[in-house]
Amino acid sequence: MGKLDGRVAIVTGGASGIGKASADLFAREGAKVVVCDWDERGGMDTVTAICSAGGEATFVRTDVSNEADVRSMVTSTVERYGRLDVLFNNAGIEGHMGVPTGETSLEDWNRVIAVNLTGVFLGCRYAIPEMLKNGGGSIVNNASVAGMVGFAGIPAYCASKGGVVQLTKTTALEYATQGIRVNCLCPGVIDTPMVRRAAPSDADVAGYSAMEPVGRLGRPEEVAALALFLAADDSSFITGAIIPVDGGFVAR
């Protein structure tokens, strides 16, 4: 018996990295998974892999910074599967890196905030009413260790992820008595396409690995395992939690 048997889950940013690994895992654990991303080809690849393995999934092209897209994402999920039980607000972008606050463009700031923070808000905004109809659900937000500590040169990213941390706490308190749990995971440096864009060479990867006390990059599957724990009943007494999955980075 799977941990998510009979449940319907949305995973944003499901075309690659942590989102793809989580969609795969949720499906193996019995969920009907709606994979959402603006990368249609990658999203369809995730759905094909899930269905080929015997799971059930569908793709909805979504720009999480667009309110109409997010509304449609939730509406189409409920129309297809009749309910919504789990939302993994995973989609995110890094923006321009290595640019200090005094040189960051308003355009870059707005785009990062729109995807990373407003996208999470919109996901919660439209998922919560549907979850309440069924007596509750679980929302998992993907922030970052950059939402817990500062990093020079990525002000918009840090601000967006810090906002996700605070939004998680607030929303968890608002719906604690109504059956909706809201938690936040904070990955360290995970071996994803986003990180590979920032670390294209072996030397760059070694530098990122050295940031982690365990001495290596994390794997998307390791973050997906935490997302599953927070989505499932195993974490039934946990809400408003901010949990690093970072190889000990924040501890150091």
Strand (E) or helix (H) holding 164: helix 155-174
The catalytic residue among 81, 157, 175, 208 is 157
157 as an active site residue: the answer is yes
Cα–Cα distance measured from residue 198 to residue 194, given in angstroms and rounded to the nearest whole number: 7
Query: Would strands 8-12 and 32-37 be described as parallel, antiparallel, or unpaired?
Result: parallel
First vs last C-alpha separation in the chain = 39
Cα–Cα distance measured from residue 69 to residue 54, given in angstroms and rounded to the nearest whole number: 28
* Active site (catalytic) residues: 157
